[in-house]
Amino acid sequence: MMDVVTLGETMALFTPKTNGYMRQATQFYIQVAGAESNVAIGLSRLGHNSGWISRLGDDEFGKKILNFIRGENVNTDNVIFDETNPTGLYFKEILTREEINVQYYREGSAASKMSPEDLSEHYISKAKYLHLTGITPALSDSCYKAVMYAIEIAKHHKVKIVFDPNIRKKLWKNDRIKQIILEISSKSDIVLPGIDEGKFIFGNNEPQKIAESFYDYGAPIVILKLGSAGAYCLSNQYNSLVSGFKVNNVIDPVGAGDGFTVGILSGLLDGATLEEAITRGNAIGAMVTMVNGDVEGLPEKKRLLSFISELKTQDVNR
């Protein structure tokens, strides 16, 4: 049985070896980046069984991505190689620690061609959790249909659905963004929006009211990400802020939200309380920001527990 199955696009990430405008870069290094595979990798490093569903171009980038993800002990049995469409690319421009720009080249990518026909009901039905983001339904109409079919399978087999809106406004080519985010939220067991996403969807700045709005749409558990301040959780048994972990050496914030999701799912799979799972999510999110790259900062269990223990000790001694 799989602990978590996730569905989405992963790309080859190019980052200049020097900071500054991309136009001035002459050398890049290549990494692997994708919100859903980040979560699968993070969970695998913490000792959980995870699987990733996607399409990759039958090209060198696709082969590199598959080899990397498979090398992290993530199950890739439901990854399809596409002989017609290419693997998506993603460039990261680092001007300063505080100013990081990203540019995607994913239109017409292999992953954007995902459809319900690509999904295995048996594969999804054997998972405890199905992890989805708002990125995948934004890629194409067929991707939207694939996500909705995955939800249908999960519901039928009582697989819990965890949804991170992860809104990328540049990807949406129509005005259905809010409608689709709320549609998926209403069908999910746990929703993990960011504070800015809550403001965008509901036009409200208050964490509690944003959480209540998602809750009213049908999500039994809403965990609103507040950055270094932590996360605000609302469920029928819990309603409180869980403080975050502040770090002084922030290098790259990209991927911190995925790390947060890893912590939540890992904690719940380990039988932790909701508060303990959120604390783990806050910790991994903080750890990811201290390392360049999407998955490079995702910890193994021993390092994670040491990080949490050390920072809690520092808080007590202040």
Question: The whole model's pTM is what?
Answer: 0.93
Which residues have a Cβ under 8 Å from the Cβ of 248 and sit 6 or more positions away? Answer: none
Distance between CA atoms of residues 197 and 202, nearest Å: 8
Beta strands 89-94 and 11-16: pairing type?
A: parallel
Reported as a single tens digit per residue, the pLDDT across 97-123 is 778 888 899 999 999 999 999 999 999
At 204-258, the pLDDT tens digits run: 889 999 999 999 999 999 999 998 899 999 999 889 999 888 877 777 777 789 9
Mean pLDDT of all residues in 160-178 = 87
In the 8-state DSSP scheme, what is residue 87?
A: P
- Identify the pLDDT of residue 128: 98
CATH topology classification for 2-10+36-87+117-317: UDP-N-acetylmuramoyl-L-alanine:D-glutamate ligase (3.40.1190)
Confidence of residue 314 (pLDDT cuts 50, 70, 90): low
pLDDT 10s digits, 47-80: 999 999 999 999 999 999 999 999 999 999 999 9
Kindly tell me the burial class for residue 70, based on how many C-beta atoms sit within 10 Å of its own C-beta (0-12, 13-18, 19 or more): middle
The residues annotated as belonging to the active site are: 258
Strand partners, 51: 5, 75
The one-character DSSP state at 86 is P
Q: Are 259 and 287 in contact (CB under 8 A)?
A: yes
Q: Chain centroid to CA 181: how far?
A: 15
